[in-house]
C-alpha cells in the first residue's frame, strides 16, 4: 500500500488540562479513501479535522500530511492549499459580499487567471444547483444555501483531499441528495463527518468512530 496522505499517529489533544478530547488517536487516510467519521456530540470529530490542517495542535503524538511531519504554522500553509475543509458552520466560511466573490476568493489567491476563475465559479455553482446565484448577497442566503456556497468555495480550490464536517447539515432532501451525488463521483480522498448513517452509506467506503478519544472501526 502507498504511503498515507494523512497520518495521525497516537495523537493527544485537549483544550484544557482537565478536558482531554483525543487520546492516543491514530488514523491513516490513503489516496482514494472515503472515510465516514462518526461519534457522539463532543467526541472530538471536528477537533480531529482541525488537527489535520493545523487549526489546532496536538499536545502529543505526530501529524503527518503529504509525507511530512507538520509541527509549525509554516508547515501547514501547503496543507491548506491542498486540502479542502468544509466547516460545520457555513457562516465561519463565508466572508465576501457576493456568492461569486466568495467562491472565487480561493482560486484567485492561488494565482489563477481571472477568466479561468470566472469559468470555474460558473461551473462549480451550476454543479451544485446554484446557477444564477453569482450576485446574491451571502448573508441573505438561507442556511442550506450558505452550506452549498461554502462547499462550492471548497471545491473551486481543486483540492486533493476533502475534510467535510457535516456536509448535508441544514439541507433539505433534494439539496442533500444533490451534494451526495456530487461527492460520490469525486476522485478525492475524503473524511466525512456525519450523524446520518444513510448519507455515509452513499459516499463512504469505510466507517470509523471516535470513542473515548480513539478511532475505532465500525
Domain range annotation of the chain: 33-54+81-217
186 close to 161: Cβ distance less than 8 angstroms: no
At 1 the pLDDT is: 63
48 contacts 210 by C-beta, under 8 angstroms: yes
Check: CB of residue 135 under 8 Å from CB of residue 98: yes
174 CB-contact burial (10 Å; exposed 0-12 / middle 13-18 / buried 19+): exposed
Alpha helices in the chain (DSSP H): 45-52, 76-82, 99-109, 114-127, 143-156, 173-185, 197-203
pTM for the structure as a whole: 0.93
156 φ/ψ angles, rounded to the nearest 5 degrees: -65, -20
pLDDT digits (tens, 9 = 90+) for 170-200: 888 888 888 898 899 888 999 999 999 999 9
Question: Alpha helix locations (H) across 25-113?
Answer: 45-52, 76-82, 99-109
Domain 33-54+81-217: which CATH number of 3.40.50.300, 1.10.10.1100, 3.60.21.10, 3.40.50.10420:
3.40.50.300
Residue 154 has pLDDT above 80, yes or no: yes
Amino acid at each position: 500500500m502507498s504511503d498515507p496522505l494523512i497520518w495521525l499517529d497516537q495523537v493527544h489533544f485537549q483544550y484544557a488540562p482537565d478536558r482531554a478530547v483525543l487520546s492516543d488517536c491514530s488514523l491513516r487516510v490513503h489516496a482514494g479513501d472515503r472515510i465516514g467519521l462518526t461519534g457522539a456530540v463532543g467526541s472530538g470529530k471536528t477537533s480531529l479535522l482541525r488537527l489535520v490542517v493545523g487549526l489546532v495542535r496536538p499536545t502529543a503524538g505526530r501529524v503527518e500530511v503529504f509525507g511530512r511531519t507538520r509541527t509549525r504554522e509554516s508547515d501547514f500553509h501547503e496543507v491548506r492549499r491542498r486540502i479542502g475543509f468544509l466547516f460545520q458552520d457555513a457562516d465561519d466560511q463565508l466572508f465576501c459580499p457576493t456568492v461569486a466573490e466568495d467562491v472565487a476568493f480561493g482560486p484567485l489567491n492561488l494565482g489563477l487567471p481571472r477568466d479561468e476563475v470566472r469559468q470555474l465559479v460558473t461551473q462549480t455553482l451550476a454543479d451544485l444547483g446554484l446557477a444564477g446565484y453569482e450576485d446574491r448577497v451571502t448573508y441573505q442566503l438561507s442556511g442550506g444555501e450558505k452550506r452549498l456556497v461554502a462547499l462550492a468555495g471548497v471545491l473551486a480550490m481543486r483540492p486533493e483531499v476533502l475534510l467535510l464536517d457535516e456536509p448535508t447539515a441544514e439541507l433539505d432532501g433534494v439539496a442533500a441528495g444533490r451534494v451526495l451525488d456530487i461527492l460520490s463521483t469525486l476522485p478525492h480522498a475524503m473524511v466525512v463527518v456525519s450523524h446520518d448513517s444513510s448519507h455515509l452509506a452513499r459516499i463512504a467506503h469505510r466507517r470509523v468512530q471516535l470513542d473515548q478519544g480513539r478511532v475505532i472501526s465500525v
